[in-house]
Amino acid sequence: MNIKVISVGKIKENYINQGINEFVKRLQRHVNLEIIEVKDERISGNLSSSEMNQVKEEEADKILDKINNRSYTIALDPQGKPMTSEGLAKSISNLQVQGYSSIEFIIGGALGLHQKIRDTADYVLSFSHMTFTHQMIRLILLEQVYRAFKIMKNEPYHL
C-alpha cells in the first residue's frame, strides 16, 4: 500500500517533527509513505473573507498539482465526516479489496482547505470538531494511519 500525505507548509516545531519522524519510521514496515509539502501562502494580519479564499485557492492549486488521479483521496477538514480508528482501519482494508493501491491524505494550510479540494476528494474526513494546527494534524494523521495498520493486522498497539 502506498500512502501519500500532501500538506501545506513545513513543520516548524521540533517536537512535532520528532513525533512525525517516529511514526514515519514505524510505518515503513507497513506502507510506502511519501510526504509532500507544498509552499504555504503568506498571510497578513486581517484578511477579508475574499482574501482568505484567494489564499486557500492558491494553496489548493498547488495541492491539485500533486494529486494522482488513480489514488483514493481523503481530505482532512473539520467539516468532514468523523470516523473511529477502527473505522479508518476498515476503510483502508476495504479500499485495498476494491483494488486501490494508493491513498492520498490532504491537509490544508493555516486557513484550511478551499472548497475545490473538498469537491475533488473521494472522502472528507474530520478528526475532531476541535481545531488543530495543520502541523499538529500531520502528526495525528500519521499516528492514526499507523494505528489502522496495527488494527488490520490484529497486533497490539502500545506507545
Each residue's pLDDT tens digit, 44-103: 778 889 999 999 999 999 999 999 989 999 999 999 999 999 999 999 999 999 999 999
- With respect to residue 50, please indicate whether it lies within any of the assigned structural domains: yes
pLDDT tens for residues 100-134? 999 999 999 989 999 999 999 999 999 988 888 88
CA trace torsion 127, 130, 132, 136 (10° rounding) = -50
pLDDT tens for residues 20-43? 999 999 999 999 999 999 999 888
The number of distinct structural domains making up the chain is: 1
The position carrying cell 504555504 is 40
Residue range(s) defining the domain that contains residue 39 = 2-152
pTM for the whole structure: 0.94
HSE-up (13 A, CA, CB side) for residue 9: 23
- With respect to residue 62, please indicate whether it lies within any of the assigned structural domains: yes
| Binding-site residue positions | 76, 108, 127-132
| Binding-site residue positions for S-adenosyl-L-methionine | 76, 108, 127-132
pLDDT tens for residues 86-104? 999 999 999 999 999 999 9
Q: How many angstroms separate the first and last alpha carbons of the chain?
A: 23
- With respect to residue 157, please indicate whether it lies within any of the assigned structural domains: no
Q: Could you tell me the CATH number of the domain that includes residue 109?
A: 3.40.1280.10
Mean pLDDT for the chain? 94
- With respect to residue 148, please indicate whether it lies within any of the assigned structural domains: yes
